[in-house]
């Protein structure tokens, strides 16, 4: 297909960030298109269909905060699964007619800046060529998946799935299944499939300090009242907190607390839904090793009671000496995860003791000589986070140097929204933005905090047009300044 079109703004990705930008840009009366690799809206949620996949961020925060989008929509669970999230994105589409401005199945392969014409020329894998004045990457954190280079992976004769590209049709009933990885995806797929497979072998490198989700169904009457009285307050409050939820860390110094006070607080947080135990605790969790050890010991005691009596299993899932401080990696939310491992049909392999040596046509051989026979191998091995989506596109700015080369020694950005020599290119929920610290529906609004002059990318676009005549000002100096900043997450240096 060769089809050259021209728009004011081109957006890559039709997830939360891309849809948010499109709605804002429409208000300016500019022409815009979203290029989306998948066949539907929702970004990651259009791809994430593995058994058990659901959000770890609770309702009502995990949705668009535009009243016209929450007023008539009610989720059935506080932590909705992928099916309900896909239904939600279809609802958003019906309500806002998003799809009319989306080119689906359009994988962007290159974006080149033309300095004389002051335009981006963007090409897709299926041969489209589109030109635009502004180019906004809304590719999220997790669009490029990571498939480790295991010896013999291509020789596996069974079914091979990565959690981020799950097939529409599959049947794991009665099969011998292996899962590599115990991050958020691994935890969810493990607890969902263990009861239905004939045998499950979990290959764990680092234990997941998962927290109880405490899933609840949403009561429609209560939700109606919350919409009337609380939703607007909650949506405003989340912009004032550390994590983007409406609850917050407690800044009281640990030195001013008593052991009893801390113990009761931890019990309270543990009984709460979601990530409160992590993001509602004392802020010194991240700076005070002694307090961090106390929190870890509390977590370990709680989960050890659920693992069962086997001390070896307890030590693998909740080691006496934590491999890293509690909370420096995001804990997942679990629903019966720790009980799964004492089932007779589940084996836990610690790959630190028995490394994955080779994938065989029939399964996996580990360094202890054991061959784990598998019908299905699930790679829950994560993503080329944040930069993966950028570096997989041939993005070239004023000096024609690709962003992959430019960032070979590290990302260079202005506040995690733009980069010198790539004029009129912005991103949201990407490298060096506060995306790693907050969930998508909150982080897509983070520019309100990140940019001293403009409220969001839309304001920037109008500001650039009004004040500087089409081109974003040079940002080299600002980038250099940020290079020397101890924290480069995007907001703290402003
Ligand atoms: P992830 O957190 O990166 O976890 C990948 C897992 O694979 C880790 O356990 C990792 O071990 C393991 N692994 C990677 N390479 C390996 C190898 N060569 N040998 C053995 N193990 C290996 O990926 P994810 O679980 O897909 O999550 C990715 C992102 O998506 C996260 O930010 C997560 O929060 C998000 N996510 C969210 C949800 C949700 O909200 N419900 C669901 C899924 C994903 P190590 O830990 O030792 O590296």
Please choose from 55, 180, 185 the residue to mutate so as to test ligand 1's pocket, defined by most ligand atoms within 8 A of CB.
185
Pocket flag, ligand 1, residue 330 (CB < 6 Å): yes
* CA atoms of 14 and 35, how far apart (whole Å): 7
pLDDT at 284: 97
- Angle value at C-alpha 273, between 267 and 274, nearest 5 degrees: 110
Token pair 């295991």: residue: 150
Nearest CA to ligand 1 atom 46: 206
Residue 481's pLDDT is what? 46
Ligand 1 lined by 373 (C-beta under 6 Å): no
Ligand 1 atom 31, closest CA: 184
Query: Positive or negative CA dihedral for 333, 336, 337, 339?
Result: positive
Residue 308 CA to ligand 1 centre (angstroms): 25
Nearest CA to ligand 1 atom 37: 184
pLDDT level of residue 243 (50, 70, 90 thresholds):
confident
Probe ligand 1: pick from 184, 244, 379, max atoms within 8 Å of CB? Answer: 184
142 CA to centre of ligand 1 in angstroms: 10
Residues in the chain: 494
343 Cα–ligand 1 center, Å: 23
Query: For ligand 1, what atom is nearest to the CA of residue 187?
Result: 25
The overall average pLDDT reported for the chain is 89
Output the residue whose Cα is nearest ligand 1's atom 16. Answer: 381
Question: Does ligand 1 come within 6 angstroms of the Cβ of 351?
Answer: yes
Class assignment of domain 4-41+98-144+384-483?
Answer: alpha beta
Predicted confidence (pLDDT) at residue 73 exceeds the cutoff of 80: yes
Could you tell me the distance, in angstroms and rounded to a whole number, from the CA of residue 156 to the centre of ligand 1? Answer: 22
Q: 292-342: per-residue pLDDT in tens?
A: 999 999 999 999 999 999 999 999 999 999 999 999 999 999 999 999 999
Asked whether residue 474 carries a pLDDT value surpassing 60, the answer given is: no
Q: Which two tokens stand for residue 469?
A: 């005549």
Residue-level pLDDT at 438: 75
Give residue 76 CA to ligand 1 midpoint distance, Å.
27
Choice between 158 and 426, residue whose per-residue pLDDT is larger: 158
Interval 334-351 mean pLDDT: 98
Query: What is the percentage of the chain residues whose pLDDT exceeds 70?
Result: 89
Q: Which ligand 1 atom sits nearest the alpha carbon of residue 333?
A: 41
**Per-residue pLDDT at 142:** 74
Is the pLDDT confidence value at 452 over 50?
A: no
Instruction: Identify the band that residue 469 occupies on the pLDDT scale cut at 50, 70 and 90.
Output: low
pLDDT at residue 484 in the model: 45
Q: Which of 52, 179, 181 should be mutated for ligand 1, with most atoms under 8 A from CB?
A: 181
Instruction: State if residue 215 touches ligand 1 by the CB under 6 angstroms criterion.
Output: no
The answer to whether residue 85 scores a pLDDT higher than 70 is: yes
490: phi then psi, degrees, rounded to nearest 5: 115, -35
Q: Is the pLDDT reported for residue 43 higher than 60?
A: yes
Smallest CA-to-CA distance from 274 within 427, 59, 17 is with 59
Show me where the domains of the chain are located. 4-41+98-144+384-483
Give the mean model confidence (pLDDT) for residues 386-412. 92
pTM greater than 0.85: yes
Q: What percent of the chain has pLDDT over 90?
A: 74
Does ligand 1 have an atom closer than 6 angstroms to the CB of 131? no
At residue 473, the pLDDT reads 46
pLDDT in tens, 213-232: 999 999 999 999 999 999 99
Q: How far apart are CA 316 and CA 267, in angstroms?
A: 24
Res. 487 pLDDT band, cuts 50 70 90: very low
From the CB of 56, is ligand 1 less than 6 Å away? yes
Where residue 432 falls (left for φ over 0; alpha for ψ -120 to 50; beta otherwise) is left
């Amino acid at each position: 297909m060769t089809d050259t079109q021209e728009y004011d703004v081109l957006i890559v990705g039709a997830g939360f960030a891309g849809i948010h930008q499109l709605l804002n840009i429409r208000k300016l009366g500019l022409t815009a298109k979203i290029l989306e690799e998948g066949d539907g809206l929702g970004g990651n949620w259009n791809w994430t269909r593995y058994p058990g996949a659901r959000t770890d961020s609770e309702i009502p925060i995990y949705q668009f905060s535009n009243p016209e989008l929450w007023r008539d929509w009610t989720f059935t669970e506080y932590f909705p699964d992928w099916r309900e999230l896909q239904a939600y994105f279809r609802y958003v589409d019906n309500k806002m007619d998003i799809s009319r401005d989306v080119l689906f199945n359009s994988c962007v392969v290159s974006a080149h800046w033309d300095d004389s014409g002051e335009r981006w020329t963007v090409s897709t894998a299926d041969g489209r060529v589109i030109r635009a004045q502004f180019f906004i990457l809304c590719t999220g954190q997790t669009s490029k998946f990571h498939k480790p280079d295991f010896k013999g992976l291509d020789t596996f004769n069974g079914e091979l799935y990565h959690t981020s590209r799950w097939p529409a049709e599959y049947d794991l009933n009665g099969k011998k299944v292996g899962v590599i990885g115990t991050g958020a995806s691994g935890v969810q797929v493990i607890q969902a499939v263990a009861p239905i497979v004939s045998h499950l072998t979990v290959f764990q490198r680092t234990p997941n300090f998962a927290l109880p989700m405490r899933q609840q169904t949403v009561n429609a009457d209560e939700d109606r009242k919350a919409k009337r009285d609380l939703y607007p307050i909650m949506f405003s409050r989340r912009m004032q907190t550390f994590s983007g939820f409406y609850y917050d860390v407690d800044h009281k110094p640990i030195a001013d607390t008593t052991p009893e006070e801390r113990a009761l607080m931890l019990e309270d947080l543990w009984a709460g839904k979601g990530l409160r135990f992590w993001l509602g605790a004392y802020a010194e969790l991240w700076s005070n090793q002694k307090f961090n050890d106390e929190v870890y010991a509390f977590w370990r005691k709680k989960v050890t009671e659920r693992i069962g009596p086997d001390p070896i299993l307890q030590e693998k899932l909740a080691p006496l000496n934590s491999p890293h401080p509690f909370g420096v990696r995001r804990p997942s939310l679990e629903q019966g995860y720790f009980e799964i491992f004492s089932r007779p049909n589940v084996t836990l392999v610690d790959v630190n003791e028995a490394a994955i040596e080779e994938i065989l046509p029939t399964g996996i051989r580990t360094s202890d000589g054991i061959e784990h026979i598998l019908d299905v191998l699930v790679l829950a091995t994560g993503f080329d986070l944040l930069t993966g989506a950028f570096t997989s596109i041939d993005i070239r700015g004023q000096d024609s140097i690709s962003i992959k080369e430019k960032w070979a020694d590290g990302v260079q950005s202005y506040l995690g929204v733009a980069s010198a020599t790539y004029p009129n290119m912005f991103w949201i929920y990407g490298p060096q933005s506060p995306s790693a610290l907050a969930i998508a529906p909150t982080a897509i609004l983070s520019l309100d905090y990140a940019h001293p002059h403009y409220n969001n990318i839309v304001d920037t676009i109008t500001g650039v047009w009004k004040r500087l005549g089409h081109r974003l000002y040079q940002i080299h100096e600002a980038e250099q300044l940020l290079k020397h900043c101890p924290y480069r997450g995007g907001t703290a240096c402003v």
